[in-house]
């Protein structure tokens, strides 16, 4: 009789090594659509141009000062656009990737490999996690060169630290959205609604002072608002580490709760699908 | 459960609890219910290393559900399932899966890159994954197609690619779900040959689901027949054939001048209640003899010959396996 052996659950190192396979896979898929790959850059630049021309209509007095400095609407909006890119990535990419695997019929093949569901989740968005910041960085550089944005390069480390504490919040919501997709298939409507509501009261694209008073008060507790304000202070106001510390204190508990809730919801959704036998159904 | 007298004449149903020791695949009393439907009811089987076990059954029999339970994608409601003695989700590194249908690859990337990706999810380093993927592609006759996008490969090639992926990481257990159902006979034969060779040479336990009866003879070592989620038979192919109750034969009677309907009517009369004769629409020299219960084939043929019918050939209308399948599933329905 053949000796049958089996190993314990996959080691963390081996799981981490698998992540590069996802990155390569997603790059190859994206590269197979070369025209779309290239035009996405052009589209981004087009979006920035729209903000530039809209900015010409905006009364500079309506833009709040950042760290005591006056900023242009384009500077205000570009930081919002950058953060919006990360929010979109975290909120929608996990569920979109999962939905795509369901539609492609590859989800069951993926989950029958000795790979943890967390690796599949992270792996599905890792390429974007690398690609989107690079794309955003290029955009900022391009805008700074063309339109002379007054970005404070010294604020980049603070911005990155702030993002590191903010992204788990979005990530948790993203996993929650993936759980919704897994359960209801077309969960994009719910996710879109939540993203829209959060973005509306975030001050990403317009000053919060334009909102009704009560909504402005609510928006102060929105983690997107906290992150956007913190990023602007670091990148435009040059306020240093002091202001970032307060934002991190506010964001940390929200991020922890978000990740816990998201992870639990995803686990429940996966267990339900296994029980119903509809994991790969679309 | 009612049984016809013909069925009673057949050997007793072999619904033995499979021998669970030393099995690579163990299924013991598994039951699964989806909403209002029983998908599986108290199903048991066992597959030992090197054995090809066919899971036979019509559409909706529960074959794919059982495979999905074995691959850890679906949880059973009750019963025990084990691969190499452990829970399926803990044995994924021992498992190769050839899923049903052709939607299990990334169609925009090459055959080689697809295999490398799945190889890496099995824990291989990239260099090893590339090397093994090339070997696996060569072993299924796709060496020249490694750079071609999967979406551009034929269905037969995609199926062979799925076998290559399943064998990539030297599995000890192979689950194959209707791998040949939409392939031409040559393509189906090629896939069966690949799997049989792997089972023999690498001592892999294979569970092969199919509704193509003709492919299990000479391929499967054992057969489990599922119907509406219940085990109707579990045993060897020879034991399955023993359940065959062949009642329909095709007779070749050339050179008759009368109209075929008149011949059939006259021949039915000659059978004197042993059975009936019908015509085969596609061939003017062929007729179908359908024996009644308890009638003996030799007596029927003798009666026809004595009445002057020139019988030059007689063969069962369906294969023995097909007859056994029909007998076992019909008996349960009755």
Inform me whether the pLDDT recorded for B272 exceeds 60: yes
Beta strands per DSSP E along B245-298: 248-252, 275-279, 286-291
User: What is the DSSP annotation of B100-128?
Assistant: SSS-SS-TTSBHHHHHHHHHHHTT--HHH
Point out which residues pair with B37 in neighbouring strands: B34
Rounded CA separation B169/B166 (Å):
7
- pLDDT tens, residue by residue, B149-181: 999 999 889 989 999 999 998 899 999 998 887
- pLDDT tens, residue by residue, B280-299: 777 788 898 888 877 888 99
- Which chain A residue's Cα is nearest to B99? A109
- Which chain A residue's Cα is nearest to B102? A105
Phi, psi of A34 (to 5 degrees): -60, -40
pTM of the model: 0.74
- Which chain B residue's Cα is nearest to A123? B121
Inform me whether the pLDDT recorded for A259 exceeds 60: yes
pLDDT of residue B16: 41
- pLDDT tens, residue by residue, A109-152: 888 899 988 888 788 888 888 887 787 777 778 777 877 777 78
Are A20 and B50 a contacting pair at CB < 8 A? no
- Res. B244 pLDDT band, cuts 50 70 90: low
Indicate if the alpha-carbon torsion angle A85, A91, A94, A98 is positive or negative. Answer: negative
Are A104 and B84 a contacting pair at CB < 8 A? no
Residue B190: closest CA among B159, B167, B148, B153: B159
Inform me whether the pLDDT recorded for A6 exceeds 60: no
Preferred mutation among B74, B116, B127 to probe A, highest tally of A CBs within 10 A: B74
Phi, psi of B26 (to 5 degrees): -125, 125
- Which chain B residue's Cα is nearest to A25? B117
Rounded CA separation A169/A257 (Å):
8
Q: Beta strand B95-98 with B78-83: parallel, antiparallel or unpaired?
A: unpaired
Rounded CA separation B314/A215 (Å):
88
Question: Would you give the distance in Å from CA B305 to the centre of its chain?
Answer: 38
Phi, psi of B131 (to 5 degrees): -60, -50
Are A105 and B101 a contacting pair at CB < 8 A? yes
Element at B38 (helix H, strand E): strand B37-47
Are A21 and B113 a contacting pair at CB < 8 A? no
User: What is the DSSP annotation of A95-139?
Assistant: HHHHHHHHHHT-HHHHHTSS--HHHHHHHHHHHHHHHHHHHHHHH
Are B73 and A274 a contacting pair at CB < 8 A? yes
Q: Considering only the beta carbons, identify the residue of B93, B99, B107 that sits closest to A114.
A: B93
Highest mean pLDDT among A235-239, A274-278, B46-50, B215-219: B46-50
Q: Over chain B, what is the mean pLDDT? A: 85
Preferred mutation among B82, B83, B100, B123 to probe A, highest tally of A CBs within 10 A: B123
Are A275 and B74 a contacting pair at CB < 8 A? yes
Residue B95: closest CA among A13, A89, A115: A115
Enumerate the residues of chain B whose CB falls inside 8 A of the CB of residue A106: 103-106
pLDDT of residue B279: 81
pLDDT of residue A1: 31
Inform me whether the pLDDT recorded for B319 exceeds 70: no
- pLDDT tens, residue by residue, B208-242: 998 877 788 888 999 999 988 999 889 988 888 77
pLDDT of residue A52: 79
- Which chain A residue's Cα is nearest to B162? A109
Enumerate the residues of chain A whose CB falls inside 8 A of the CB of residue B72: 111-112, 274
Inform me whether the pLDDT recorded for B3 exceeds 50: no
Enumerate the residues of chain B whose CB falls inside 8 A of the CB of residue A17: 120, 123, 125
Number of Cβ within 10 Å of residue B269's Cβ equals 12
Chain B contact present for A113, CB below 8 A: yes
Q: Are A115 and A12 in contact (CB under 8 A)?
A: no
Residue B129: closest CA among B92, B164, B87: B164
pLDDT of residue B331: 56
Element at A174 (helix H, strand E): helix A156-184
Inform me whether the pLDDT recorded for B81 exceeds 90: yes
Beta strands per DSSP E along chain A: none
Phi, psi of A252 (to 5 degrees): -55, -55
Are A109 and B122 a contacting pair at CB < 8 A? no
- Which chain A residue's Cα is nearest to B71? A112
Enumerate the residues of chain A whose CB falls inside 8 A of the CB of residue B92: 112-114
Highest mean pLDDT among A34-38, B38-42, B330-334: B38-42
């Amino acid at each position: 009789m053949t000796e049958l052996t089996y190993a314990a659950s996959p080691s963390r190192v081996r799981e981490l090594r698998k992540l590069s396979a996802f990155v390569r896979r997603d790059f190859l898929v994206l590269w197979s659509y070369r025209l779309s790959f290239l035009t996405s850059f052009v589209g981004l630049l087009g979006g920035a141009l729209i903000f530039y021309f809209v900015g010409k209509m905006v009364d500079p007095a309506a833009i709040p000062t950042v760290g005591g400095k006056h900023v242009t609407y384009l500077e205000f909006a570009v930081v919002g656009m950058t953060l919006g890119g990360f929010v979109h990535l975290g909120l929608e990419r996990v569920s979109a990737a999962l939905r795509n695997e369901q539609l492609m019929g590859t989800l069951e093949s993926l989950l029958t490999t000795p790979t943890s569901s967390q690796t599949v989740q992270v792996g599905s968005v890792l390429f974007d996690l690398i690609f989107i910041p690079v794309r955003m960085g290029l955009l900022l550089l391009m805008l700074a060169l063309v339109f002379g944005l007054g970005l404070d390069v010294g604020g980049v480390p603070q911005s990155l630290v702030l993002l590191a504490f903010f992204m788990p919040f979005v990530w948790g919501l993203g996993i929650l959205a993936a759980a919704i997709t897994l359960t209801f298939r077309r969960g994009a409507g719910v996710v879109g609604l939540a993203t829209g509501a959060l973005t509306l009261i975030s001050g990403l694209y317009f000053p919060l002072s334009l909102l009704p008073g009560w909504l402005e008060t609510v928006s102060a507790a929105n983690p997107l608002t906290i992150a956007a304000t913190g990023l602007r202070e670091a990148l435009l106001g040059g306020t240093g580490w002091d202001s970032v510390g307060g934002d991190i204190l506010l964001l940390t508990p929200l991020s922890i709760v978000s990740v816990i809730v998201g992870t639990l919801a995803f686990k429940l959704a996966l267990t339900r699908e296994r029980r119903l036998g509809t994991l790969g159904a679309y | 459960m009612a049984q016809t007298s013909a069925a009673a004449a057949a050997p007793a149903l072999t619904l033995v609890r499979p021998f669970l020791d030393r099995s690579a695949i163990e299924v013991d009393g598994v039951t699964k219910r989806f909403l209002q439907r029983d998908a599986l009811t108290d199903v048991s089987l066992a597959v030992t290393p090197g054995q090809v076990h066919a899971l036979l059954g019509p559409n909706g029999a529960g074959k794919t559900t059982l495979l999905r339970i074995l691959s850890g994608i679906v949880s059973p409601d009750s019963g025990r399932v084990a691969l190499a003695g452990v829970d399926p989700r803990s044995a994924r590194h021992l498992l190769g899966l050839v899923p049903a249908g052709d939607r299990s690859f990334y169609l925009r990337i090459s055959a080689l890159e697809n295999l490398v990706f799945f190889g890496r999810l099995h824990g291989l380093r990239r260099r090893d994954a590339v090397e093994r993927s090339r070997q696996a592609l060569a072993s299924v006759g796709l060496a020249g197609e490694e750079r071609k996008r999967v979406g551009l490969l034929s269905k037969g090639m995609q199926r062979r690619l799925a076998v290559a992926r399943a064998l990539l990481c030297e599995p000890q257990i192979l689950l194959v779900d209707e791998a040949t159902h939409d392939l031409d006979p040559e393509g189906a034969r090629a896939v069966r040959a690949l799997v049989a060779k792997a089972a023999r040479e690498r001592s892999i336990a294979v569970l092969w689901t199919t509704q193509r009866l003709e492919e299990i003879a000479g391929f499967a070592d054992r057969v489990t027949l599922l119907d509406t989620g219940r085990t109707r038979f579990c045993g060897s192919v020879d034991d399955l054939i023993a359940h065959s109750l062949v009642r329909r034969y095709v007779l070749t009677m050339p050179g008759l001048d009368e109209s075929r309907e008149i011949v059939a009517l006259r021949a039915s009369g000659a059978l004197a209640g042993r059975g009936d004769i019908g015509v085969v629409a596609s061939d003017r020299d062929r007729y179908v003899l359908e024996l009644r219960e308890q009638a003996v084939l030799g007596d029927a043929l003798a009666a026809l010959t004595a009445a002057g019918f020139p019988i030059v050939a007689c063969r069962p209308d369906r294969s023995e396996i097909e007859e056994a399948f029909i007998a076992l599933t019909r008996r349960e329905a009755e």
